[in-house]
Structure 1
Amino acid sequence: MLWRAISEDLPGPKWARLFTEYWPDYRRWWLKEGDSARPTYLESRRALADHMPEIVPLYEQLCDLAGGGDQAARFLSFYCPPPYLSGCSQAIWPGEEPVLVRNYDYNPNAFDSLVLRTNWQGRQVMGTSDGLWGLVDGVNDAGLAISLTFGGRRVVGNGFGVPLILRYVLQTCTTAEQAGAVLARVPTHMSYNVTVLDAKRSYLTAMMAPDRSTVITHAAVATNHQENVEWVSHARFTATVERERFLLQRLTLHRDPEDKFIGAFLRPPLYSTAFNAGFGTLYTAVYRPRLGQMEVRWPGTVWSQSFDNFQEGGRRVQVPGAA
């Protein structure tokens, strides 16, 4: 896989080129159920204004850079997108320097392969891109890190694709408590577990769903179910319960040092090569929010980035099983 790292303080020509490159594939995905299956522009913008008003000016800037088209603007709202599934494991290692570690399990042909650093609206954010301004994990310059996993439920409702909710949290929040309040009120179109860690070592996991209230927990581990397994076949296929137990053991019974704990994400049962069955582990991310640092890891490869020394460029990496 070819990965890229791109830095642009304000929405501009770099982002516009990215949109031009990615939009044909995203448009096909967004229209796979037909244009009428997606909300109108007015419905989408109204939902943004109701639930995430602070980023509406940013949204409008990006729509202009994307050419101002109706379908592009509706896509960029992330409101009621087509449903999609992923795997993923994430956990907080509570050492002297707390770390948020996650595996992202997904289809390599439907992934941005992009680390994006921005300074939009005066807030530095860097993380793994989804939908070109959403994020599946990331950190901001206030020392707040965030990551998502699929919640293991079939229900689809009216709400936002969770990558935009993560972007919104990082643009507007500085603490885990603030993030929890946002995650409790912004509607999501599917079920997700969102884990947050801040610079003062506070953390939480929000179990979000479109058909019931968000549950805020003090869980340091999240895989692909919520309080109970509801989608049994998905749980068996992804081994969500086994992965959760494995991580809890690493944190409680064995007390692994940081390097060993992170290394466990690059091996079974956390690391998956089941791409022929739908999705496997595309990368492992490591966030040190107080230090403003992130790493993207693959077996034998570490790509380090930070707010103080963000390096643009590309990396061609071997992802076991993804060929």
Structure 2
Amino acid sequence: MMWRALSEETPGPKWSGLFDEYWPDYRRWWLKEGETARPTYAQSRRALKEHMPEIVPLWEDLCDLAGGGDHAARFLSFYCPPPYLAGCSQAIWTGKEPVLVRNYDYNPNAFDSLVLRTNWQGRRVMGTSDGLWGMVDGMNAAGLAISLTFGGRRVVGEGFGVPLILRYVLQTCTTVEEAGAVLARVPTHMSYNVTVLDKKRRYLTAMMSPDRKTIITHAAVATNHQENVEWVSHARFTATVERERFLLHRLTLHRDPQDKFISAFLKPPLYSTAFNAGFGTLYTAVYRPRLQEMELRWPGTVWSLAMNNFHEGGRRVQIPGAA
């Protein structure tokens, strides 16, 4: 798998080039249930203005760079996209230099393989891209780090794809409390667990759902269920309960040093090679908000990236089990 790291202060030719490259695949995915299954431009704009008004000008700039087309604008709103599932484990290791660590388990053929650093609207952000401006994990210059996991429920409702919600948090929030308030009010189209850590070592996990009120918890671990397992077959397939217990054990009963704790994410039961069944672990991410640094890890490989000394480039990695 070929990864890229790109930096662009304001939306411009680099982002436009990315859109041109990725849009054919994203368009097929977005239209797979038919155009009428997706909200109209007016509905998408109205939802953004109601729930995330601060980033509407940014969305408009990106729409212009994408060519101003109707489909592109609706896709970029992330409002009521097609449903999709992912695995993932994430946890907060607390200490003098706290870290947010996560595994992202997904289909390698439906993934941006891209780290973006931006300074959009004057807020510096870097993280793992999804949908070309959404993020599945990331961090901002205020020292706020964030990550998502699928929440293990089949309910689909009216709301936003969670990668855009993560981008919105990083664009507008500086503390865990501010992030929690956003996660409690912005609607999501599916169930997700979103974990947030700030530079003062405060953290939370928000259990978001389209059909019920968001639950804000002080959980340091999130896998692929919420308070209780509701989708039993998915829970068995992904071993969500076993992964949660494994992480809790290493944070509490048998507290690992930081390096050992991070290394555990690259081994079973957290690390998955089940690509033939739909998805496996594409990468491990480590966020150090106090140091403004992140790492992407694979077995035998570490790629370090710094907010204030960001180096563009590429990295070809071998992912065990991926075709």
**Counterpart position of 1:144:** 144
- Alpha-carbon shift at residue 4 of structure 1 (Å): 0.2
**Counterpart position of 2:202:** 202
- Alpha-carbon shift at residue 106 of structure 1 (Å): 0.1
**Counterpart position of 1:25:** 25
**Counterpart position of 1:127:** 127
Q: 2-side partners of 1:308 and 1:113: how far apart?
A: 21
Q: 2-side partners of 1:261 and 1:51: how far apart?
A: 37
- Aligned AA (1:155): V
- Alpha-carbon shift at residue 291 of structure 1 (Å): 1.1
SS at match of 1:243: helix
Matched, 1:214 2:214: yes
- Alpha-carbon shift at residue 17 of structure 1 (Å): 0.1
**Counterpart position of 1:294:** 294
- Unpaired runs of at least 5, structure 1: none
- Aligned AA (1:213): K
SS at match of 2:22: helix
Q: 2-side partners of 1:252 and 1:307: how far apart?
A: 31
Q: 2-side partners of 1:29 and 1:287: how far apart?
A: 30
SS at match of 1:157: coil
Q: 1-side partners of 2:307 and 2:201: how far apart?
A: 19
Q: Matched residues, percent identical?
A: 86
What pairs with 1:262-273 in structure 2 (closer than 5 Å)? 262-273=262-273
SS at match of 1:290: coil
Q: 2-side partners of 1:306 and 1:168: how far apart?
A: 21
SS at match of 2:290: helix
Q: What whole-Å deviation, never above 9, does each CA across 1:40-96 have from its counterpart, x for those lacking one?
A: 000000000000000000000000000000000000000000000000000000121
Q: CA RMSD in A?
A: 0.3
SS at match of 2:163: helix
Q: 1-side partners of 2:304 and 2:317: how far apart?
A: 14
- Alpha-carbon shift at residue 102 of structure 1 (Å): 0.1
SS at match of 2:266: coil
- Unpaired runs of at least 5, structure 2: none
Q: 1-side partners of 2:159 and 2:14: how far apart?
A: 29
**Counterpart position of 2:39:** 39
Q: 1-side partners of 2:94 and 2:202: how far apart?
A: 10
**Counterpart position of 2:251:** 251
**Counterpart position of 1:64:** 64
- Alpha-carbon shift at residue 260 of structure 1 (Å): 0.2
Q: 2-side partners of 1:145 and 1:307: how far apart?
A: 12
SS at match of 2:6: strand
Matched, 1:78 2:58: no
**Counterpart position of 1:3:** 3
**Counterpart position of 1:168:** 168
Q: 2-side partners of 1:191 and 1:14: how far apart?
A: 32
- Alpha-carbon shift at residue 7 of structure 1 (Å): 0.2
Runs of 4+ more than 3 Å apart: none
- Alpha-carbon shift at residue 33 of structure 1 (Å): 0.1
SS at match of 2:318: coil
**Counterpart position of 2:234:** 234
- Alpha-carbon shift at residue 34 of structure 1 (Å): 0.2
- Aligned AA (1:9): E
- Alpha-carbon shift at residue 32 of structure 1 (Å): 0.2
Q: 2-side partners of 1:307 and 1:241: how far apart?
A: 34
- Alpha-carbon shift at residue 253 of structure 1 (Å): 1.1
Q: What whole-Å deviation, never above 9, does each CA across 1:107-127 have from its counterpart, x for those lacking one?
A: 000000000000000000000
- Alpha-carbon shift at residue 310 of structure 1 (Å): 0.5
- Alpha-carbon shift at residue 30 of structure 1 (Å): 0.2
**Counterpart position of 2:313:** 313
Q: 1-side partners of 2:50 and 2:188: how far apart?
A: 14
* Alignment TM-score, normalising by the size of structure 2: 1.00
Q: Report the count of equivalent residues.
A: 323
* Alignment TM-score, normalising by the size of structure 1: 1.00
- Aligned AA (1:191): S
- Aligned AA (2:115): V
